[in-house]
């Protein structure tokens, strides 16, 4: 009960604007793939195209190897969970969940209100529907709510009903359009765990749309980051964080945002950060952007390879650790954020170092380098070469 | 007096509110007084109707005599049955035609959609008197004058209903329609089983508008009906008044009370839905 999904150069225009610019993606059977991106990047549109709810202007969708471009939504054997839950407002929870089964197993006449109940010879089919609904309701723990109407349910309960309705006909592919964003923060954390567990249990293919990077990082097998109608990078969550292929990816993933500094690559490819030479080299020449995650930055000491001057702006206490918000003169927006354990900040404060201008820095291998076009540049820095290089630099 | 004012103020009613309520009461009186007069007249003898002094209460209470007289002198129940048949027929066909049309205008993209909707708005501005003559000629040509069909046919297609339901359907969430498509429900079934039930208040509101308009309509029945046994309530009332040349006001008012009663009863039952429907759709 699982299938691959192949998305091949999908195009979609709304009015004059290109919402999707030739998106291609291969999703493996049983994968939990998250489409993430800022609002308006086309991720929800792509999901609806996969479901067949809106037609694409170009390209092709295949599910389990079968091209489904001309198939109506119901023939694609996919289920979708909507951000608004999209429950049928006048039906009970039971009828909401039973609807997809009734449509498939009962003839049209039997689904007529009042009259349909007297259609003979459908006892077994009806009992089967009720049994399946009961099973799914038990799985998402809403058995006691089956007689209620959606308006009588809380957000979390509605979410479960929407999940149950999607699960009940055992589709090959689940499509989820920001299913958690209408829940409060605590419930969201809880449902995150439940969704990941559900995916593991069902083994079906999940395509999950969100703008929340925490959801993407915690649940996914792979994450596809979309920007402006294009997929910028597809990678497992950890790699997306550690190894962004593009400056937009680096900025979107990670909170607080990555620190960006303007640097300069000399004629030999050696990178200087302001006036300070660094042990880093690259193949590009001219201006480059150096990215350092807040947790890679620290107060500089003798072993710090990359250093720059900064002034403290304010301290934000997060409980276990704190964020130092700094100002610097190394280009970008001239702000930097540095994450330190609370104890270290206390020690710094007591020594009085926070009041003076600070020197901050990071290890050379923590640096992410981007070219002027935003693409990631390869760094060539080896620990052994570092000192020699520095000595040479100073000698020349 | 001042004690009363302080007590009212404690209830949250300032002088401004009192003035507003007094103003509204005047209009309530203007609206309700003729209605009261009708019921009053139906309950007292004809001699009292033309007395010079005013009285709020029948001086001699004749009970249901006037009603008995009205029912025996005119086939009131027949008129009411005609009214029910005509109103129900019109309403059913109006709903069956307007709902799919409104749904298409609200939720589908097709060529000429804007033009079609413009035509609907335009048709809202055309009163029944304008096409009355061609309609009459057509009915005469097909030999269907003086029939229930002739009473109903001009009103089968209601642009007002199309407009009203379009506004309601437009606010129906697309996600639910999408969910229904994914669940495998056909388009017609989506409309009648998923979308229409949620439009209950709007349908109730429209039903009240439609039933009131056609129950009370005199203009069109007067043109196409000649047989008294096909007359809907107002035309029947007219025959009745003609026959008795206006001396038995008591019986006439009793008949009027009986003929308006069904509307009152429907409105009392549908009142909550009606008000919700009207406020929801922003009509009137």
pLDDT digits 0-9 by tens, B82-118? 999 999 999 999 999 999 999 999 999 899 999 999 9
| 3 state SS of B28 | helix
pLDDT at A2 over 80: yes
**DSSP string across A221-250:** SEEEEEETTEEEEEE-HHHHHHS-SBHHHH
Instruction: Give mean pLDDT, residues B9-16.
Output: 78
User: If contacts are CB pairs under 8 Å, which of residues 177-196 in chain B contact chain A?
Assistant: 178-186, 189, 193-194
Choose one of B13, B38, B67: the last residue of a domain.
B67
DSSP label at residue A38: S
Q: Give the CATH number, domain containing residue B111.
A: 1.10.3720.10
Interface A-B, measured as beta-carbon pairs within 8 A, has a size of: 58
Torsion of CA B79, B82, B86, B89, to 10 degrees: 150
Buried-state track B156-195, b at ≥16 Cβ within 10 A, e below 16: eebbbbbbbbbbbbeebeebbbbbbbbbbbeeeebbbbbb
Determine contact: B198 vs chain A, CB below 8 A: yes
Instruction: Give mean pLDDT, residues B44-61.
Output: 71
Query: Angle, to 10 degrees, between the axis of helix B249-281 and the axis of helix B200-215?
Result: 150
Neighbours of B273 (CB within 10 A): 18
Determine contact: B7 vs chain A, CB below 8 A: no
Q: How far is B248 from chain A (nearest CA, A)?
A: 50
CB nearest to B179's CB, from A86, A90, A108:
A86
pLDDT at B245 over 70: no
How many angstroms from the chain centroid is the CA of residue A33? 9
Residue partners of A384: CB distance under 8 A and separation at least 6:
none
Task: Determine how β-strand A358-362 pairs with β-strand A306-317.
Answer: antiparallel
CB contact under 8 A, A89 and B176: yes
Instruction: Give mean pLDDT, residues A3-27.
Output: 90
pLDDT digits 0-9 by tens, A176-210? 999 888 888 888 888 888 889 889 988 899 999 99
CB contact under 8 A, A78 and B182: yes
pLDDT at A118 over 50: yes
User: Which residues of A have a CB under 8 Å from any CB of B?
Assistant: 48, 51, 53, 72-74, 78-80, 82-84, 86-90, 99-100, 103-104, 108, 111, 113, 165
pLDDT at A104 over 60: yes
Domain co-membership, B157 together with B209:
yes
Q: How far is A320 from chain B (nearest CA, A)?
A: 42
Determine contact: B213 vs chain A, CB below 8 A: no
Give percent above pLDDT 70 in chain B.
Answer: 91
Domain co-membership, B163 together with B90:
yes
Pair B108, B114: CB distance under 8 Å = no
Determine contact: B175 vs chain A, CB below 8 A: yes
pLDDT digits 0-9 by tens, A295-318? 888 888 777 788 888 888 888 988
Phi, psi (deg, nearest 5) at residue A60: -150, 145
CB contact under 8 A, A90 and B183: no
Rounded distance between C-alpha atoms, residue A123 and residue B48, angstroms: 69
pLDDT digits 0-9 by tens, B169-224? 999 999 999 999 999 898 999 999 899 988 888 898 899 889 999 999 989 998 88
Peptide bond just before A365 cis, omega within 30 deg? no
Choose one of B17, B37, B67: the last residue of a domain.
B67
The confidence score (pLDDT) of residue A384 equals 41
Domain co-membership, B144 together with B40:
no
Neighbours of B202 (CB within 10 A): 25
Domain co-membership, B97 together with B221:
yes
CA separation, residue A58 to residues A6, A11, A215 (Å): 14, 5, 30
pLDDT digits 0-9 by tens, A146-159? 999 998 898 889 98
pLDDT at A386 over 70: no
Domain co-membership, B242 together with B165:
yes
Instruction: Give mean pLDDT, residues B56-80.
Output: 79
Rounded distance between C-alpha atoms, residue A341 and residue A321, angstroms: 4
Banded pLDDT at B1 (limits 50, 70, 90)? low
Banded pLDDT at B74 (limits 50, 70, 90)? confident
Instruction: Give mean pLDDT, residues A128-148.
Output: 90
pLDDT digits 0-9 by tens, B118-164? 999 999 898 888 889 999 999 999 988 888 999 999 999 999 999 99
The confidence score (pLDDT) of residue B280 equals 58
pLDDT at B275 over 80: no
Choose one of B67, B87, B117: the last residue of a domain.
B67
CB contact under 8 A, A74 and B176: no
Query: For residue B100, what are its two tokens?
Result: 């799919």
Domain co-membership, B97 together with B231:
yes
CB contact under 8 A, B176 and A79: no
Task: Using an 8 Å CB-CB cutoff, list chain B residues near A73.
Answer: 178, 181-182
Banded pLDDT at B37 (limits 50, 70, 90)? confident
CA contacts within 13 A on the Cβ side of B53 = 5
pLDDT digits 0-9 by tens, A223-246? 999 998 899 999 999 999 999 999
Pair A36, A43: CB distance under 8 Å = yes
State the ipTM, two decimals.
Answer: 0.82
Domain co-membership, B79 together with B159:
yes
Q: Which residue has the tokens 């055992």?
A: A170
Helices (DSSP H) in B146-227: which residue ranges? 148-152, 159-170, 174-183, 187-189, 196-198, 200-215, 219-224
CB contact under 8 A, A73 and B197: no
Rounded distance between C-alpha atoms, residue B141 and residue B162, angstroms: 29
Sketch out chain A's domains with CATH numbers: 5-242 (3.40.50.300), 257-395 (2.40.50.100)
Task: Using an 8 Å CB-CB cutoff, list chain B residues near A108.
Answer: 186, 189
CB contact under 8 A, A90 and B179: no
Q: How far is B284 from chain A (nearest CA, A)?
A: 27
Task: Using an 8 Å CB-CB cutoff, list chain B residues near A103.
Answer: 183-185
Domain co-membership, B20 together with B78:
no
pLDDT digits 0-9 by tens, A316-353? 988 888 899 998 888 778 888 999 888 888 888 888 88
Determine contact: B109 vs chain A, CB below 8 A: no
Give percent above pLDDT 90 in chain A.
Answer: 32
Q: How far is A73 from chain B (nearest CA, A)?
A: 5
Pair B243, B74: CB distance under 8 Å = yes
Name which residue leads in pLDDT, A23 or B2: A23
The confidence score (pLDDT) of residue B278 equals 64
Domain co-membership, B49 together with B175:
no
pLDDT digits 0-9 by tens, A62-97? 999 899 999 999 888 899 999 989 999 889 999 999
CB nearest to B173's CB, from A53, A74, A86:
A86
The boundaries of the domain holding residue B261 are: 74-281
Residue partners of A56: CB distance under 8 A and separation at least 6:
A10, A11, A12, A20, A49, A69
Rounded distance between C-alpha atoms, residue A263 and residue A261, angstroms: 6
CB nearest to A84's CB, from B175, B185, B189:
B175
For all residues of chain B together, what is the average pLDDT? Answer: 85
CB nearest to A86's CB, from B175, B186, B189:
B175
Domain co-membership, B60 together with B83:
no
The confidence score (pLDDT) of residue A396 equals 37
Pair B36, B201: CB distance under 8 Å = no
Task: Using an 8 Å CB-CB cutoff, list chain B residues near A79.
Answer: 182
Task: Classify the phi-psi angles of A228: left when phi > 0, otherwise alpha if psi is within -120 to 50, otherwise beta.
Answer: left
Instruction: Give mean pLDDT, residues A25-36.
Output: 93
Quote the number of domains for chain B: 2
pLDDT at B282 over 60: no
The confidence score (pLDDT) of residue A393 equals 42
How is chain A split among helix, strand and coil, in percent rounded to 5?
35, 30, 35
Domain co-membership, B258 together with B134:
yes
Instruction: Give mean pLDDT, residues A116-134.
Output: 82
Pair A283, A269: CB distance under 8 Å = yes
Domain co-membership, B207 together with B113:
yes
Pair B224, B151: CB distance under 8 Å = yes
For all residues of chain A together, what is the average pLDDT? Answer: 86
CB contact under 8 A, A73 and B181: yes
CB nearest to B182's CB, from A80, A84, A89:
A80
pLDDT at A109 over 90: no
CB contact under 8 A, A86 and B184: no
CB contact under 8 A, B198 and A89: yes
Query: Angle, to 10 degrees, between the axis of helix B15-42 and the axis of helix B249-281?
Result: 140
Rounded distance between C-alpha atoms, residue A305 and residue A366, angstroms: 10
Task: Classify the phi-psi angles of A36: left when phi > 0, otherwise alpha if psi is within -120 to 50, otherwise beta.
Answer: beta
**DSSP string across A105-173:** HS-GGGGSTTGGGG-TT-HHHHHHHHHHHHHHHHHTT-GGGTTS-GGGS-HHHHHHHHHHHHHTT--SE
Rounded distance between C-alpha atoms, residue A3 and residue A26, angstroms: 11
The confidence score (pLDDT) of residue B152 equals 92
């Amino acid at each position: 009960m699982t299938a691959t999904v192949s998305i091949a150069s999908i195009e979609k225009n709304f009015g004059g604007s290109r919402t999707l610019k030739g998106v291609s993606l291969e999703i493996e059977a049983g994968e939990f793939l998250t489409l993430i991106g800022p609002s308006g990047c086309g991720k929800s549109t792509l999901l609806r195209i996969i479901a067949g709810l809106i037609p694409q202007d170009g390209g092709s969708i295949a599910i389990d190897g079968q091209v489904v471009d001309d198939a109506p939504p119901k023939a694609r054997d996919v289920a979708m969970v909507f951000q608004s839950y999209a429950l049928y407002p006048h039906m009970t929870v039971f009828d909401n969940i039973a609807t997809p089964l009734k449509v498939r197993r009962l003839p049209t006449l039997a689904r007529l209100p009042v009259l349909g109940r007297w259609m003979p010879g459908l006892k077994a089919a009806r009992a089967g529907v009720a049994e399946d609904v009961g099973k799914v309701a038990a799985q998402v723990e809403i058995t006691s709510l089956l007689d209620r109407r959606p308006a009588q349910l809380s957000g979390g309960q509605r979410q479960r009903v929407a999940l149950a309705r999607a699960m009940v006909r055992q589709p090959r592919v689940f499509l989820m359009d920001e299913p958690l964003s209408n829940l409060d923060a605590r419930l969201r954390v809880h449902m995150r765990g439940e969704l990941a567990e559900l995916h593991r249990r069902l083994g079906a293919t999940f395509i999950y749309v969100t703008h929340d990077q925490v959801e993407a990082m915690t649940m996914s097998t792979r994450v596809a980051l979309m920007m402006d109608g294009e997929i910028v990078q597809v990678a497992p969550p950890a790699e997306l964080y550690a190894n962004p292929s593009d400056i937009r990816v680096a900025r979107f993933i990670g909170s607080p945002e990555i620190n960006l500094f303007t640097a300069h690559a000399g004629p030999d490819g050696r990178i200087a950060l302001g006036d300070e030479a660094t042990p880093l080299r690259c193949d590009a020449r001219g201006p480059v952007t150096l990215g350092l995650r807040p947790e890679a930055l620290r107060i500089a000491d003798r072993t710090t390879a990359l250093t720059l001057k900064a002034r403290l702006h304010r301290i934000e206490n997060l409980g276990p650790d704190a964020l130092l918000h700094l100002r610097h003169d190394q280009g970008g927006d001239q702000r930097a954020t540095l994450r330190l354990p609370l104890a270290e900040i206390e020690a710094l404060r007591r020594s009085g170092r926070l009041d003076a201008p600070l020197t901050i820095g990071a290890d050379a291998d923590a640096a992410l380098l981007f070219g002027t076009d935003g693409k990631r540049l390869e760094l060539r820095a080896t620990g052994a070469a570092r000192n020699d290089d520095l000595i040479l630099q100073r000698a020349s | 007096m001042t004690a009363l004012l302080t007590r009212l103020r404690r209830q949250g009613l300032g002088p401004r509110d009192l003035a507003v309520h007094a103003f509204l009461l005047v209009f309530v009186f203007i609206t309700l007084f003729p209605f009261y007069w009708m019921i009053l007249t139906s309950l007292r003898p004809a001699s009292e109707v033309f007395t010079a002094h005013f009285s709020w209460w029948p001086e001699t209470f004749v009970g249901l005599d006037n009603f008995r007289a009205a029912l025996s002198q005119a086939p009131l129940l027949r008129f009411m049955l005609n009214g029910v048949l005509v109103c129900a027929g019109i309403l059913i066909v109006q709903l069956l035609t307007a709902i799919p049309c409104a749904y298409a205008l609200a939720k589908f993209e097709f060529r000429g959609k804007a033009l079609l909707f413009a035509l609907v708005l335009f048709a809202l501005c055309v009163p029944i008197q304008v096409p009355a003559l061609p309609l009459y000629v057509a009915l005469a040509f097909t030999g269907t004058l003086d029939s229930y069909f002739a009473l109903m046919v001009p009103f089968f297609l209601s642009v007002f209903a199309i407009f009203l339901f379009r506004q309601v359907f437009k606010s129906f969430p697309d996600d639910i329609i999408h969910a229904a498509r994914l669940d495998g429900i056909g388009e017609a079934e989506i409309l009648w089983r998923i979308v229409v039930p949620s439009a209950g208040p709007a349908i109730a509101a429209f039903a009240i508008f439609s039933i009131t308009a056609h129950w009370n309509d005199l203009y069109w029945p007067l043109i196409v009906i000649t047989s008294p046994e096909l007359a809907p309530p107002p035309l029947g009332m007219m025959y009745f008044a003609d026959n008795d040349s206006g001396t038995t006001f008591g019986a006439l008012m009793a008949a009027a009370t009986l003929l308006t009663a069904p509307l009152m009863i429907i409105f009392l039952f549908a009142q909550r839905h009606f008000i919700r429907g009207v406020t929801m759709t922003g009509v009137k």
